[in-house]
Amino acid sequence: MPRGVAIPEVRQQLFAAVERVITRDGPSKLSGRAVTSEAGVATGLLHAHFADMDDFLAAYAVDRSFVVSAAAAALPERAGTGSVAENLCDAVLATPPATIGVLLRLLAARPELPERVRAVLGDTTAGLDAIENAAATYLTAEQRLGRVAAAADPAALGLALVGALHYLVLTSAAESDVHARVARTIVALVEAVTTATPH
């Protein structure tokens, strides 16, 4: 690329490139050259925007963790409206499964990254923590409204939900398969604890 030519949204261009590299080759093959080559930009561009590769990957992890967190944040506000299962499905599947899968693989390969994400976004936002926390908070609110049984354990249900999501995004090839199986799992999890008539 000629010198002096501005590249719009260069950070997001590099972030999309790192996702493609991880999806195709795995996190062990990550390098600055691999990312810039995938993005189709000069090798030095990454270092023009980030201190080093660790700084770049931390910025990527923060960005994508924020996306996941923002998608889940509105879930507790939906208590008392619509279907409990549908509300959970909407929040859990708001972020593309492929994005979640790449983020999880990167966080597992780079154990220092979750702490850097927490330092920026807070204690419950790295990886799937945001979804787990939002689901537990939402189910607790529904419990208070009588739409979820008093005997239910919202924290355990939130953990089971993200456990299923974690497994599926890392093992399923097709996004449609992830959506269908996550939805089926959520329905099965909440069917036994939702009440037919709120108190």
pTM of the model: 0.87
Q: Which residues have a Cβ under 8 Å from the Cβ of 116 and sit 6 or more positions away? A: 58, 61, 62
CB 88 within 8 A of CB 75: yes
Residue 17 burial (10 A CB sphere; 0-12, 13-18, 19+):
buried
Could you tell me the end-to-end alpha-carbon distance of the chain, in angstroms, rounded to an integer?
A: 65
pLDDT at 84: 96
Residue-level length of the chain: 199
pLDDT tens-place values along the chain, 199 residues long: 334 434 458 999 999 999 999 999 999 999 999 999 999 999 889 989 999 999 999 999 999 999 999 989 999 999 999 999 999 999 999 999 999 999 999 999 999 999 999 999 998 887 799 999 999 999 999 999 999 999 999 999 999 999 999 999 999 878 889 999 999 999 999 988 987 555 4
pLDDT at 2: 37
pLDDT at 197: 54
Which CATH architecture fits 69-191? Orthogonal Bundle (1.10)
For the domain spanning 1-49, the CATH number is: 1.10.10.60
Q: Which residues have a Cβ under 8 Å from the Cβ of 111 and sit 6 or more positions away? A: none
Q: Tell me the domain boundaries of the chain.
A: 1-49, 69-191
Q: Do domains 1-49 and 69-191 have the same CATH topology?
A: no
- CB under 8 A, 24+ apart: contacts of 136-142: 137/75, 137/76, 138/75, 138/76, 138/78, 138/79, 138/87, 138/88, 138/91, 139/84, 139/190, 141/76, 141/79, 141/80, 142/79, 142/80, 142/84, 142/194
pLDDT at 6: 43
CB 85 within 8 A of CB 191: yes
φ, ψ of residue 48 to 5 degrees: the values are -75, -20
